[in-house]
Amino acid sequence: MELLFEKSVAGRRTHYLPELDVPEAKALSAQYLREEKLDLPELSEIDVDRHYSELERRTYGVNNGVYMLGSCTMKYNPQLNEITSGLPGFTQAHPLAPEAHVQGSLEVFAKLESLLCDITGMDEMTFQPAAGAHGELTGLMMIKAYHESRGETQRTKILIPNAAHGTNPASMAMVGYELLPIPVDEDGFIKVDELRKITDDTVAGLMLTNPNTEGQFEKNISEVSKIVHEAGGLNYYDGANLNAIMGIVQPGKMGFDVIHLNLHKTFSTPHGGGGPGACGVGVKDILKDFLPTPHVVERNGSFEWNTPEKSIGNIVAFHGNFLNLVRAMSYVLMLGRDGIKRSAQNAVLNANYLRYHLKDTYTMSHDEICMHEFVMSLKQLKAETGVSALDIAKGLLDYGVHPPTMYFPLTIPEALMVEPTETESRQTLDTIIKAFKELHDLSCSDPEKLHNAPYTTVVRRPDEVEAARNPILKYEKSNAVEE
C-alpha cells in the first residue's frame, strides 16, 4: 500500500481557510523561520479519506471479530464510553484550570477511586500511570519509599515467579531491586515451604499475578502473603487482568498492599493501537502517604488537588489519561455491582467452555477448571507433525479469527494462551472451536499447508527474524523510491 508521501502530488490540497479579514500579524523574526520548505504530502481531502479508510479496512480489532489474546483482555469497549468521554466539559477541561472550574472532572477521579477501591479492597488509588508497566514502577517506588522511611535499606530483593509477565522483572530492575525467583511446582503453583525458607529481612516485597499466568488461582494465597508480611515485606498484586475476580474477591483481602489495574484491559478503555492506556494503582492505608502528587481529595463538599505527605512525586505530566478514566467510570457504573460480577463469571465461563471443548484435541497446561484464560502446549503436536504454535496461529487467520497469545508464558513450550473474555457469544465460541479442531486435523493430514498459512490475508508471513534483527524504524523517502 502506498504511503501518503508516495500519493502526494505537488500543488494538490484542500482549502478550507477563509479570506483573511483581520490585520496580518507581524512576521516572525528570521531566527524562527525554517530555510527550506517543510516536506509534507500534498493531497486532496478524498485522497486522505480513502487512505485512512483503506488502513481501517486492513486493520483487525475487536469490532471486526473475536480477539482471544491471552493476558490482554481484548474486550469490547462499549459505545457509551465514547459518548461520556466525548462530553465537552471533559474534553475541554484544561489541566491547569483552577479547581473551582473543574469540580466535575475532579469528581471523576474521586468517584472512580472509590469504585475501584471497592472492587479491589484497597484504601486509596492514583490514576497517574499511563499503562500497566508504568503502574508497576509507581507501586514499586512506593514500596521502596516505604522501606526507606523506616530505615530498612537492606531490603533489596523482590520475589517474582519465573512465569511472570515480562514487565514485572523489568519494573523491579528500574527501581533498583534484585530478583529473587519464587519457587513453583510443575503446575506453576507457589511452593509455600520453600518460599518461607528464602523470605528474610532482605526482601522488600513479593510481586504476583493472581490468577497466575497459566490461568489458575493461586491455592495458598493467604499463606503466601502472610509469609512476606511476617518477614516485613509488602505484597504487590499485578491486577492488569482482573477479569476473573472483579466483584467476586478483593486482592486487599488476600493480604496485598499495592495493586495496579489496567483500565485498558479489564475496564474497557481503548487498547493497543486503539488508544493510550490508563492505569490505577491502589494502596492500603500504610502506603497512602507515598502516593504520587497531586491526588484528589474531598474537603467540605468540594474537590481539591492534594500532595500526600511523603509523596514519591509526580510520575507523569499532569494527571494521567483522563478521558480513559471517564470511560472506565462509565463502564463500572453501567454494569453496577451485579453486572461487574456477572461479567467476571461470564469471562470465566467462556474460557472454560473453550477449554472443555478443546481439551481432547489439544494438550492443556492444566487439566482443571481455569479462570479467565488457559494455556495449551503444542509441544506434542509439533513433535508428531512438525506443526508449531506459530503455524496454528497463522492458520487461524484464514478463519478470520485473531490468534491467541503465542509463546507466553515462557515456561510452557509451544504455548498458546487463550482469553475469550465475556464479550463473546456461544455462537462465536463454537466457531473458534471448529477452527481449532479443523486446524488440528490439517496438521495431521497436510502439515506443509499449515507451514505456509495464512493464504487469505493482505500480509502473509512477515520475516519475523529479519524484523527483529534489522527493524526499519524510520521512513526514508529515498528507500521508498528505490523499492
Ligand X SMILES: *Cc1c(COP(=O)(O)O)cnc(C)c1O
The Cβ of residue 427 has, within 10 Å, a number of other Cβ atoms equal to: 7
Q: Which residue is at the shortest CB distance from ligand X?
A: 132
The grid cell for 367 is: 487439566
Closest separation in Å from C-beta 208 to ligand X: 10
The Cβ of residue 398 has, within 10 Å, a number of other Cβ atoms equal to: 15
In sequence order, what are the residues at sequence separation of 6 or more whose Cβ sits closer than 8 angstroms to the Cβ of residue 341? 246, 247, 248
Smallest CA-to-CA distance from 209 within 157, 263, 167 is with 167
Output DSSP code: residue 272. G
Closest separation in Å from C-beta 468 to ligand X: 19
Closest separation in Å from C-beta 164 to ligand X: 8
Backbone torsion region of residue 254, taken as left when φ is above 0, otherwise alpha when ψ lies between -120 and 50, otherwise beta: alpha
Nearer to ligand X, 262 or 388 (CB): 262
In sequence order, what are the residues at sequence separation of 6 or more whose Cβ sits closer than 8 angstroms to the Cβ of residue 164? 207, 208, 209, 213, 238
Closest separation in Å from C-beta 2 to ligand X: 32
Contact 389, 415 (CB under 8 A): yes
Nearer to ligand X, 134 or 319 (CB): 134
Closest separation in Å from C-beta 313 to ligand X: 20
The grid cell for 414 is: 509451544
In sequence order, what are the residues at sequence separation of 6 or more whose Cβ sits closer than 8 angstroms to the Cβ of residue 362? 376, 378, 381, 416, 436, 440
Element (H, E) at 363: strand 363-364
Nearer to ligand X, 93 or 258 (CB): 258
The Cβ of residue 192 has, within 10 Å, a number of other Cβ atoms equal to: 15
One-letter amino acid at 455 equals Y
DSSP bridge partners of 234: 205
Closest separation in Å from C-beta 243 to ligand X: 10
Closest separation in Å from C-beta 347 to ligand X: 14
Nearer to ligand X, 132 or 251 (CB): 132
Residue ranges in contact with ligand X by CB under 6 A: 71, 131-133, 165, 167, 209, 238, 240-241, 262, 277
C-alpha of 50 from chain center? 31
Nearer to ligand X, 238 or 257 (CB): 238
Between CA 281 and CA 348, with CA 245 as vertex, the angle to 5 degrees is 135
Nearer to ligand X, 73 or 443 (CB): 73
Nearer to ligand X, 132 or 282 (CB): 132
Nearer to ligand X, 71 or 126 (CB): 71
Output DSSP code: residue 333. H
The grid cell for 302 is: 468540594
Helix axes 103-120, 322-358, angle to 10 degrees: 30
Closest separation in Å from C-beta 270 to ligand X: 12
Nearer to ligand X, 216 or 262 (CB): 262
Nearer to ligand X, 372 or 382 (CB): 372
Closest separation in Å from C-beta 449 to ligand X: 33
Nearer to ligand X, 161 or 308 (CB): 161
Closest separation in Å from C-beta 98 to ligand X: 32
Helix axes 167-175, 132-149, angle to 10 degrees: 40
Closest separation in Å from C-beta 108 to ligand X: 21
Beta strand pairing status for 279-283 and 124-126? antiparallel
Contact 436, 361 (CB under 8 A): yes
